[in-house]
Chain A
Amino acid sequence: MPIPLDAEEVLNREFLEVRARLLQVAAALDRLDRASGSVEADARLTKISQALAILTEAEGDRAERIQHVFSRPYDAKWLGPFKKERMNS
C-alpha cells in the first residue's frame, strides 16, 4: 500500500522524536555505567547491543528483526511429540 507522506515529510515529522529516543537510550546506558556493581554477563545487555547494531544497518525491516532479537527460539518440530504425549495421557 502506498504511504501518503514522502521521505522528507516523514523525516520532518520524526526527527525530534527519534533524537529524543536515542538520547533516552544513551542516557540509560550511561546510567548503567555509573551504577555500582556489574551486569556485564547479563544476557539482556547482549540483546540490547544486538538491537543497536540492527539500527545502524542499511537493510530494512528493523522493527521485525529487533523483535526477533528479544524473542525465545521456536522449535518447528514441537507439535508431533506434543500430540503423541497428549494421546497417551
Chain B
Amino acid sequence: MYYFDPHIHMVSRVTDDYETLAKMGCVGMSEPAFWAGFDRGSVDGFRDYFRQLTEFEAKRASWYRVQHYTWLCINAKEAENVSLSREVIAMIPEFLDRPGVLGIGEIGLNKNTKNESIIFCEHLDLAMKTDEQILIHTPHLEDKYQGTRMILDMLCDDSRIDHSRVLVDHVEEHTIRAVLDEGFWAGMTLYPVSKCTPERAVDMIEMYGPERLLVNSAGDWGPSKPTAVPDFILAMRLRGHPESLIRRVVYENPLKFFSQSRNFHFTPPEVYQPAV
C-alpha cells in the first residue's frame, strides 16, 4: 500500500532508510524543523539547516522517488533562547516561497515554560501574517498533558487561526479528544518508549474514527523506527480493518491536510489497473 509519512526527520537518517521506506510503499513525507541534538549558536546555523531541508533532503528523497516536503521554525527546546528565536523567526520568510515548504513547524512546547510560550505565540503570529499552515509538537511523558492543554489554550485564544489548517502531533490517549473536539488535525507518533505503539494507534482509530487523524513515525536521532507507519498498516490489517480505512489514514488524510498549503504539489503514483 502506498503511504505518506507526515512527520519524519530524515536529516537524522541515512540514505538506506530512504531506500527501505520507498520499498515499503512510502511515496511522500513531510519533515518538520526540529532540534539537531545540540543547541545551535546563531541564526546562520538555522539558515544552513533550512537550506539542508529545502535543498538537500528533497534531492536525496527524489533519488528514491519519494516526494519530500518540509516545515520551518525554531523548535521549542531552543526557544528558551528568546533573542535567537526572534532572529530565526525574522529570517524564516526568506524560505517560505521555496518549493515544498508547507508551513511553520514543528512549533510547540517542551518543558512548558514562559519563554517557550512566548516564542510559540510569535510563531503563530508569523504564520497568520504569512498565511501558512501550522504543525505542532506536543511535549513528551509527564509534560504532555499540561503542554497540550496550554497549546490548545493559546491556539483557541487567537481568533485568526483556522483550526482545520493546524496539525497537533504526538497525541496520545489523554490528549487526542481535546485536539479533535476543537477541530484541529491530530497526529499519532509511533515511537518506542516515550510515545504510542501501533496497537494503541489502532485503538484510537477505533475509538475516534479516521476523521482528521494521521499516523507518523517521527524517525529522528533517538531510538525510533522510520518504518513505523508500515507497522501500523499491518496492525490495522491484523485487527480486521478494511484496506479503504487504512488507506484513508495513511494516504488520503495526509494529502487532504497538506493540500491546504500553497506549496504542496504532489504527483500521485501511477496505480496499475488490470483490464477486466
Contacts and interface: CB of A to CB of B under 8 A. Distances in A.
Contact of A71 (B145, B150, B157, B200): B145
Chain B interface secondary structure, helix, strand, loop or mixed? Answer: helix
Given A71-B144, A79-B153, A79-B157, A64 B240 contact: no
B141 A70 contact: yes
A88 interface: no
Interface residues of B, number: 30
A60 B101 CA distance: 42
A79 B174 contact: no
B118 interface: yes
A72 B117 contact: no
A7 interface: no
Nearest to B206: A3
A4 B239 contact: yes
Given A1-B209, A3-B206, A63-B203, A71 B174 contact: yes
A71 B141 CA distance: 7
Contact of A74 (B117, B146, B207): B146
A13 B174 CA distance: 25
Contacts of A74: 145-146, 149-150
Interface string B183-227: 000000000000000001001011111000000000000000000
Interface string B147-171: 0011001100100000000000000
Interface of B: 112, 114, 117-118, 121, 141-146, 149-150, 153-154, 157, 172-174, 200, 203, 205-209, 238-241
For the complex of A and B, list the 8 residue pairs with the smallest distance between their C-beta atoms, beginning with the closest. Answer: A4-B240, A67-B174, A71-B145, A64-B173, A74-B146, A63-B173, A74-B149, A79-B153
7 contacts: A5-B239, A67-B145, A71-B144, A72-B146, A74-B150, A76-B153, A79-B153
Interface of A: 1, 3-5, 13, 61, 63-64, 67-68, 70-74, 76, 78-79, 82-83, 85-86
